[in-house]
């Protein structure tokens, strides 16, 4: 067998393997996203009423506060207080200067094994459930799953999700708000604004190893095939209108690290207005991401996202509406 024959055999084998894998992926995929709720996840506890259970509202209800801040937290008992102190201080000052402004923070404990819920409940006791609620998940869902369940229980006109590590300066919320107000000034109901660290990329390249830099660029290339126009899809600081949040998080299929790409793919597919705004960001110790293996997992997820949407194995319901 000469070289060309070997090449032809390998090519044919690759085509067969890809075809079989595509069929398996299509057959085993669930077309419409499904959200699993455990009974305990329908309620939050009110510490000022002897920890009585109170039913969470639904994102399908009319908005009753100006801003909801969703904070996914997995084993964050040490880092969470810094983030909550900064957030409460900023929002409290805004409320002092504008008494009509109403907000809520929803801390979503994603099945933690430490005292994340206890720490968050301490803040709930001090600030009241109108300002801070804790959603404790019955089992770990992943960051995307935690954010989705928090979003689906939020009351805000605008909804922000922000990482529990306080890596992004919370006052940069104003930059995102200015952008979303600009996007919706024509009456549009669906808009997404992404906080971005893209302006820090040159510095990141300078401090990363060659291998990690190659992985980073490879990841960006894969993302480009799914989400064009956004340089940093993974920053954990994004602001959405209520209607955008309803559609995106009802249709979200991916619950782990690559969920940002899934949500932006949905937004792009439905022609939602999307913008990217530079934010102040710094590295915080304690990251749950293991560089090589996490990026490998995300690369696999990106490939599967692309295949499933391209083949029609995953579908998007654009008719979901908030009241």
- What is the per-residue DSSP string for 1-68? --HHHHHHHHHHHHHHHHHHHHHHHHHH--SS------GGGGEEEEGGGTTEEEE---TTSPP-EEEE
Please state whether the predicted TM-score (pTM) of the whole model is above 0.95: no
The Cα–Cα gap between 145 and 288 comes to 16
Structural domain includes residue 188: yes
**Which tens digit of pLDDT belongs to each residue from 255-312?**
987 899 999 999 999 999 999 999 998 877 766 666 666 677 778 888 889 899 989 9
Structural domain includes residue 316: no
Strand partners, 275: 193
Structural domain includes residue 320: no
Domain with residue 183: its CATH number is 3.90.550.10
For position 206, what pLDDT does the model report?
Answer: 44
Structural domain includes residue 74: yes
Burial class (CB in 10 A: 0-12, 13-18, 19+), 281: buried
Structural domain includes residue 1: no
Structural domain includes residue 35: yes
The Cα–Cα gap between 45 and 54 comes to 6
The Cα–Cα gap between 309 and 137 comes to 28
Structural domain includes residue 80: yes
Range with top average pLDDT, 49-53, 210-214, 241-245: 241-245
Q: Which residue range forms the structural domain that includes residue 31?
A: 21-311
Structural domain includes residue 8: no
| Count: domains in the chain | 1
Q: What is the mean pLDDT of residues 121-127?
A: 97
């Amino acid at each position: 067998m000469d070289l060309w024959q070997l090449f032809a055999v390998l090519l044919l084998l690759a085509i067969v393997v890809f075809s079989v894998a595509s069929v398996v992926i299509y057959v085993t995929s669930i077309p419409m996203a499904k959200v699993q709720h455990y009974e305990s996840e329908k309620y939050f506890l009110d510490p000022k009423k002897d920890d009585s259970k109170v039913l969470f509202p639904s994102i399908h209800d009319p908005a009753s506060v100006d801003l909801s801040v969703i904070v996914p937290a997995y084993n964050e008992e040490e880092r969470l207080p810094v983030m909550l102190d900064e957030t409460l201080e900023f929002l409290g000052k805004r409320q002092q200067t504008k008494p009509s402004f109403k907000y809520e923070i929803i801390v979503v404990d994603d099945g933690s094994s430490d005292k994340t819920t206890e720490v968050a409940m301490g803040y709930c006791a001090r600030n009241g459930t109108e300002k801070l609620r804790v959603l404790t998940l019955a089992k770990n869902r992943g960051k995307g799953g935690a954010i989705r369940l928090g979003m689906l229980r939020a009351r805000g006109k605008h909804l922000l999700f922000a990482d529990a590590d306080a890596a992004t300066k919370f006052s940069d919320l104003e930059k995102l708000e200015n952008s979303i107000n600009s996007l919706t000034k024509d009456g549009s109901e669906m808009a997404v604004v992404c906080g971005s660290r893209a302006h820090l990329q040159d510095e990141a390249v300078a401090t990363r190893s060659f291998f990690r830099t190659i992985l980073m660029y490879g990841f960006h290339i894969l993302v480009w095939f799914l989400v064009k126009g956004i340089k940093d899809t993974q920053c954990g600081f994004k602001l959405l209108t209520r209607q955008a949040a309803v559609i995106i998080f009802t249709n979200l299929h991916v619950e782990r690290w690559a969920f940002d790409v899934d949500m932006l793919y949905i937004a792009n597919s439905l022609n939602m207005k999307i913008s990217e705004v530079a934010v102040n960001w710094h590295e915080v110790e304690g990251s749950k991401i293991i560089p090589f293996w996490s990026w490998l997992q995300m690369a696999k997820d990106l490939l599967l996202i692309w295949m499933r949407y391209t083949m029609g194995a995953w579908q998007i319901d654009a008719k979901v509406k908030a009241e």
